[in-house]
Structure 1
């Protein structure tokens, strides 16, 4: 019984550690070397159009921190990713999942 209580507490603490590690948007922004507006300009140079969604997120590829933009260009929506530390274009793909 005592061993199972110790194991249960260990798993609970591990779960808590994962929750504590989640970073807030301001913590992510503090890690970025370029601003959202700079990244937006880079994205719009790659795909001229209207930004309909933007976010800063941790994701595999590049430095691991990127700005993601959904840009409406004509009838298509494209997802454009810009590395938040280098400004490098990481993604430019068709994303018509929300098409009417």
Structure 2
């Protein structure tokens, strides 16, 4: 295989990786029309509240705040933190270590 073919294949693979990451599906997308805050904005707020790697994310109806929240599990080292962001106001509602009965 020539160098230019390898470059084209690499670029196509990179483009596909970027395309699939930006369209990452999360649990609860059916509630997205009710949210004033996008998943991208909520992710940024959650990572500001607790830096690390997001391992799970969902949009759910839950008590507290407006009743609609993004919930993120963020791993930093051996600790997994649950960070909840109000989907209508963008306010941090929860920022605590994930409990033993995680959903």
Coordinate RMSD, CA, aligned: 1.8
Matched, 1:94 2:97: yes
Change (3 A) 1:47 1:30: same
Shift of 1:27: 3.8
Which has the higher Rg, Structure 1 or Structure 2? 1
Q: Please, what TM-score do these two structures have when normalized by structure 2?
A: 0.68
The partner residue of 1:79 within 74, 82, 89 is 82
Unaligned runs of 5+ in 2: 1-27
The partner residue of 1:39 within 13, 34, 42 is 42
Report if aligned partners of 1:77, 1:96 keep a CA contact under 8 Å in 2: no
1:60 corresponding residue in structure 2: 63
Partners in 2 of 1:85 and 1:93 — Cα distance?
A: 21
1:10 corresponding residue in structure 2: none
Q: Please, what TM-score do these two structures have when normalized by structure 1?
A: 0.70
Unaligned runs of 5+ in 1: 1-24
Shift of 1:74: 1.4
